[in-house]
Amino acid sequence: MFKPTLLAAVTAAFFLTACDRREKTASVPAIQIHHDTAELATLIPEGAARTDKPFANSSGDFQFAVVGDRTGGLRPGVFARAMDQLNWLQPEFVLSVGDHIEGYKKDEAEIARQWDEVADLIDNLQMPYFHVVGNHDISNEIMRDYWRQRLGRDYYHFVYRNVLFLALNTEDPPTASNKKAALKKLDVSMEQYKRTVQLLQGNLDEAREFFAAEPKLGQIAEVLRGQDRVTISDAQLAYVQKALEENPRVRWTFVLMHKPAWKYESPEFEQLETMLESRPYTVLAGHYHYYEFQQRNGRDYIQLGTTGGSQKMQPQGPGTMDHLMWISMTDGGPQIANIEMAGLHDRRGPQSH
């Protein structure tokens, strides 16, 4: 961006004076040169028709976005459109809650092909993108090794403008899934499976009552719990503990994970919550492809919807949506908005397809 120098200002003033001498009838506008950009933000004419609220541009404010599951039943084109939409919105960075590829493979060539595909889409972003591990991303040790070679750590943290971000791995270590074979032995109908999945997404105490009344659903739930677990290693817990100890006075902490660990019987996650209890924090997860907000321990726990993942197995309600989460970090804490992708358009407005 061009910044006028003193010489440029003098030259401009001389030029305008010369023009004024040659042509007295010409109307020459005044030129104001500001060396401090803060002056421009407060250059408001007296009597301007405005309210007296302060500008929402505190030096500590920033905006970032979070995307939901891309896979677990990929719907082509949705995630690619999300990358375009994020460029329109211009967040400072983008976070994920996992499940970038379909995965569940041991063929390294196929694993690489799937990561190449999503990497090409993410490369269209004009700002940083932070990966979080999903069960489809790391479903075995081969995929975990590939993640580490290609992307780096599978759990990590960073601090931005005195806000701590913890990116956790709920597949630590990966757990092999034989869900299909186990369910086949139970002779499960699609409706029974869908109903059980929906119950497990809700309040666990209420779900137990349903399972007691309908034992078949309870059997399905046991299979799903056995195959769909949250695993957090002692090494990861020690890492989180150290990250928290090293950042005791951050103004907020965001915890990102794929599986909503608070919906699982996970002693490790309970330990993590104990570590967090003395600070303000927000937890963001995905996995179930259905948006759900709840408060736990006086904090916000949010399960994101999809950004391209399947919506077939989810309850068809208001939480069934492709969306981008938009978070504005303010002095008073985060302001969270959800933008449904179907309602977000560029400068051309809605287009027919």
SS (H, E, C) 147-198: HHHHCCCCCEEEEECCEEEEECCCECCCCCCCHHHHHHHHCCCHHHHHHHHH
Same domain, 243 and 293: yes
Mean pLDDT on 243-262: 97
- Tokens representing 93 are 């960075």
Compute CA distances 80 → 74, 337, 342, whole Å.
12, 21, 13
Same domain, 220 and 330: no
- Between CA 333 and CA 271 the distance in angstroms is 24
Do residue 222 and residue 234 come from a single domain? no
Residues 326 and 194 in one domain: no
What backbone phi and psi angles, to 5 degrees, belong to 321? -160, 150
Task: Identify whether residues 144 and 168 lie together within a single domain.
Answer: yes
The CATH number assigned to the domain holding 271 equals 3.60.21.10
d(CA 255, CA 261): 11
Same domain, 161 and 105: yes
Cα–Cα distance for residue pair 137/99, rounded to 1 Å:
6
The reported pLDDT for the residue numbered 21 is 38
List the single range of 111-125, 126-140, 197-211 with lowest mean pLDDT: 197-211
Of 66-70, 108-112, 202-206, give the lowest mean pLDDT range: 202-206
pLDDT one-digit tens code per residue, 7-62: 444 344 433 343 443 334 344 444 333 334 554 556 778 889 998 888 787 888 99
Asked if the structure places residue 14 within a domain, the reply is: no
Same domain, 255 and 337: yes
Assess whether pLDDT exceeds 50 at residue 1. Answer: no
Burial class (CB in 10 A: 0-12, 13-18, 19+), 120: exposed
Question: Residue 37 is which amino acid?
Answer: T
Are 95 and 198 found together in one domain? no
200: enclosing H helix or E strand: helix 190-201
Distance between CA atoms of 212 and 222, rounded to whole angstroms?
12
Helix (H) or strand (E) segment spanning residue 81: helix 78-89
**C-beta separation of 258 from 278 below 8 A:** no
Alpha carbon distances (Å) from 317 to 10, 201, 348: 65, 13, 30
- pLDDT tens for each residue of 158-181: 999 999 999 999 999 998 667 777
* Residues 217 and 192 sit within 8 Å (Cβ to Cβ): yes
Task: Please give the model's pTM, rounded to 2 decimal places.
Answer: 0.83
Domain identity same for 107 and 239: yes
Confidence band of 230 (pLDDT split at 50, 70, 90): very high
Which among 180, 64, 172 is positioned nearest to 125, based on CA atoms?
Answer: 64
Whether 314 is covered by a domain: the verdict is: yes
Do 144 and 240 belong to one domain?
Answer: yes
Domain residue limits at 126: 62-175+230-343
Exposed, middle or buried by CB within 10 Å (0-12, 13-18, 19+), for 246? exposed
For 129, other C-beta atoms within 10 Å of its C-beta total 17
Q: Which residue has the higher pLDDT, 166 or 263?
A: 166
Domain for residue 150, yes or no?
Answer: yes
Question: Closest by alpha carbon to 301, among 273, 281, 329, 282?
Answer: 282
- Condensed to tens digits (0 to 9), the pLDDT of residues 126-160 reads 999 999 999 999 999 999 999 999 999 999 999 99
The SS3 of residue 108 is helix
Residue 351 lies in a domain: no
CB distance 346 to 88 below 8 Å: yes
Number of domains in the chain: 2
**CA–CA distance, 148 with 267 (Å, rounded to integer):** 26
Asked whether residue 134 falls in the same domain as residue 208, the answer is no
State whether 125 and 168 are in the same domain: yes
pLDDT for 304 equals 98
| Residue 87 placed within a domain | yes
Which residue is associated with the tokens 């027919």? 352
Residue pair 67/81 in contact by the 8 Å Cβ criterion: no
